[in-house]
Amino acid sequence: MAKNLVIVESPAKAKTIEKFLGKNYVVKASVGHIRDLPKSKLGVDIENNFQPQYINIRGKGTVINELKKEGKKAEKIFLATDPDREGEAISWHLAHILNLDECEKCRIEFNEITKDSIKKAIKSPRAINKNLVDAQQARRILDRLLGYKISPLLWKKVRKGLSAGRVQSVATRLICDREEEIKNFVPQEYWSINLLCETLNNDKVEFKFYGQGDNKLEINNQQQVDEILENIKGKDLEITDVITKERKRSAPKPFTTSMLQQESSNKLGFPTKKTMLIAQQLYEGIDVKGEGTVGLISYIRTDSQRISQEAAEKAKEYIIDELGDKYYKGISNKSSNKKKIQDAHEAIRPTSIQRTPDKIKDSLSKEQYQLYKLIWERFIASLMEDAIYDSYSITGQIGNYTFKASGSKLKFDGFLRVYTFASAEEKMLPHIEKGWALKVEDTIPKQHFTQPPARYTEATLVKTLEELGIGRPSTYAPTIATILAREYVVKQGNSFYPTEIGILVTEIMKQNFEKFVDIDFTAEMENMLDEVEEGNMKWKDVVENVYSSLKDAIEKAEQSIDKVSVEEETGETCEKCGSPMVIKYGRFGKFISCKNYPECKNTKPILNKVGITCPKCKQGEIIVRKTKKGKIFYGCSNYPACNFVSWNKPTGEVCPACGEYLVHKENKKTSKIVCPNKDCNFEKKVEI
C-alpha cells in the first residue's frame, strides 16, 4: 500500500513528527535547503530580468535521490517546512525536484510541533504561496548582488576575505558610528547634593536636591555647591508636601524573536546564536519523560505578539485555577509594533501550559531549562494583571531650596508572582508627615560627569536593528555571527568594539556605497520585500530598483577608490631575509609579518601591553589577547613559560584582604575592582 510522504527541513523535526502520524506516513528531512545559487559565480542572469540560476547544493545528491524515490512511491506528498519565507522557498524548491505542480495543495504549515497541530495541518493543505517565495527570492538575489559585486572590490582595493552585505554592513556601521560618538564625546560636569535626615521617629532618610521653589535647577560647578551648602548650613528640612499615589507596572508582552534574544542576553547571558540554537531544539522536539518526543514551544522566528484564542484560554484556566481570578487580566492582540508584522504567526509560547518548567526539568539540559523557564513564565505573565505599587513623593524645603525623596511599596504583585526574571523594585521610605521639621545630620555633595552613549551589546544591537526596521527575526543572529567572523568587530565583555579593518571598510562603504549603509534605504529595502510578500510589488521590480543604484556606485568606485594599504611599517628588519617587517591584518586581527611574504613566511604576534606586570611570574607584562571567536582576555607576555590568564583586566593592585591580585570588572550599570579569589569577597566600586 502506498504511503503518504511528509517532508520537513531537519531530522530532529522529522523524528518528532513521525511519532504523531500513523504507519501510513513516511517523514523525511531535506536537511535545510536543497537548491541555491552557485557559490562559484554570481548565479543571477542580470540581462535576463535577474533570472536566478539555481543548482542542487553540492553534497545533497543522496538526500535528493532519497526524496525522489520516496516521492514516486507516495500516494500524496506534504511539504511541511517552517511557516515563513525561508520555509516556503524550501517547499517551492522541493516541489521543483519532485515535479509537483506548485498550484497543487501540497503545502502544510503549523505553528507548533504537537500531535493535534500536525493532524490538523494534514487535513488542510494549501498551494505554495508564491508571494512568500518571491519575497525570499528577492532577498536572496539582493544579498547575492550586493555581496558578489561589492566584496571583490574590497578584496582588490583592501585585502582578500572581506565582505559587504545588506544587513551586516549597516550593523557594522552602527557599531563604528557609536565608537566615533564615544571618541568625540565631551564630558560635562554636574553635581548632586543629598541630605541625610532623621525623622521624628528616629528613622534615617535621604533627600536629593531638586531646585529652587518649584523650578528644577542643575548644579554645574563647585561654586554653586558651596553657595547652596552655606545657605542651608545648620537648618532643618521642613516637609511641605507628602503625596501617595497608586502606580501600575504593566505586565510584559509575550516574546517575539528579537525580544527573546534581548531578554535571554540580559537575563541569562546567552548570545543570540546560542539562544536561537536552544530555542530550535525546544521547538523541534524534546524527549519528555512519560510523553515521548514533543515540541515544547511554538515557532521561534516571529515578529508577532499575537496569541491564539485556544492558547489564551488554556493559560486563563491555569492562572485562575493556580493563582485565583484576581491575577487574570487577558491580553490585547493589537501589536504596538509600527512596522509590518507577519501576523499569521504567533508570539513564542509554550505548546502546553501544563508542562511547567519544574515538571519537565529532568528532561532538559540546564540551558534548555533556563530558556524554557524564561519563555513559559513570560507567556503566563503576559496574560496576568499589572503589579500595583503605592508610590510616595515627599518634598521638603530649606529656605528657597527644594529637596525631594521618593519611594514605592508593592501592594499587589500581579504578574511578578510568576515572572521571576523581573524584580519587585521596591524602595521603602519611613513614615513622614507634612509639617515635620527634619534634622539634617549630613550633607553629601558629589561631583559627576556626563557619560558617553554605551557601546552596543548583542541585546541593544538587536533592539536597535529592529526599531530601525532593518533585518527580520531570522537575520539578527547570523548577522552578528558574520561581523564577528569577519573581524569587523570584537566583543570585550558584553560590548562590541569595531576593529581597525571594520572602521576602514565602513568608511569605504560610506564614501562609495552610501546608499547601501544608509539606515533609511536599508529599512526601505525591507519594506519593499514586505510589499512583495503582500503581493503589492513584483520581486523583479524591487531587484531592478536596487541594482540600478548599485551598478552606478560600482562603476564610480572602481575609478575613485585607490588601493588602500593596510600594511604599516614597523621599523624592524626580518631576521630571516632582511626585508622590512610590516603590520598586517589577518583573520584574528593584526600581526607582524615579513613584507617579502609569501617567499618569506616569518610572522610574529603583536603584543598589546596594558602597562601592568604579570601578578604570577612578576617578569612578563600583561597583554590583551583574543580567542578564536574574538572574545578578549588577558595573558602574560611570557606565555607559554607563564600561563597566567584572566577574563578581566588586572589593575596592578594587591587585594588588602588576602594579597591576591585585583581585577577591573565592568558592565553597563556598574564598575568595580574585585578580588578573583573565590574565598575572598573584597570589592570596591568605581565611578563609571
Residue 177 grid coordinates: 558610528
Mean pLDDT of 35-45: 96
pTM above 0.85, yes or no: no
302-339 tens-digit pLDDT: 999 999 999 999 999 999 999 999 999 987 645 444 44
176-208 tens-digit pLDDT: 999 999 999 999 999 999 999 999 999 999 999
Q: Whole-angstrom Cα distance, residue 108 to residue 126?
A: 6
Task: pLDDT band for 587, please (50, 70, 90 cuts).
Answer: low
Q: Which of 264, 283, 265 is nearest to 87 (CA)?
A: 283
Mean pLDDT of 94-106: 94
Q: Which of 291, 106, 8, 364 is nearest to 18 (CA)?
A: 8
Q: Measuring CA to CA, how many Å separate 342 from each of 84, 335, 479?
A: 9, 11, 21
Residue 337's pLDDT is 45
Whether the CB-CB separation of 2 and 74 falls below 8 Å is answered with yes
356-365 tens-digit pLDDT: 999 999 999 9
Pairing of strands 608-613, 621-626: antiparallel
- Asked if the model's pLDDT at residue 668 lies above 80, the reply is no
| Listed range (235-239, 348-352, 510-514, 627-631) with the worst mean pLDDT | 627-631
Beta partners for 292?
Answer: 288
Residue entry with cell 513584483: 538
Mean pLDDT, the chain, integer: 92
Residue 598's pLDDT is 78
Pairing of strands 683-685, 671-674: antiparallel
220-243 tens-digit pLDDT: 999 999 999 999 999 999 999 999
Distance from the Cα of residue 152 to its chain's centroid? 29
Q: Which of 363, 378, 377 is nearest to 281 (CA)?
A: 363
Whether the CB-CB separation of 664 and 673 falls below 8 Å is answered with yes
Mean pLDDT of 95-105: 93
Torsions phi, psi for 271 (to 5 deg): -65, 160
Mean pLDDT of 283-303: 95
Q: Whole-angstrom Cα distance, residue 3 to residue 77?
A: 9
Q: Is the peptide bond before 580 cis (omega within 30 degrees of 0)?
A: no
Pick the residue with more confidence: 471 or 6? 6
C-alpha dihedral sign at 281, 526, 495, 304: negative
522-563 tens-digit pLDDT: 999 999 999 999 999 999 999 999 999 999 999 888 888 876
Q: Measuring CA to CA, how many Å separate 343 from each of 122, 139, 366, 469?
A: 22, 20, 32, 16
Residue 672's pLDDT is 87
What structural domains does the chain harbor? 4-128 (3.40.50.140), 162-184+456-470+484-558 (1.10.460.10), 189-250+387-449 (2.70.20.10), 257-382 (1.10.290.10), 568-605 (no CATH), 609-685 (no CATH)
Q: Whole-angstrom Cα distance, residue 356 to residue 369?
A: 10
Torsions phi, psi for 605 (to 5 deg): -75, 155
Catalytic residue set? 299
476-505 tens-digit pLDDT: 999 999 999 988 999 988 899 998 889 999
Q: Whole-angstrom Cα distance, residue 623 to residue 23?
A: 63
442-460 tens-digit pLDDT: 999 999 999 999 999 999 9
- Asked if the model's pLDDT at residue 590 lies above 80, the reply is no
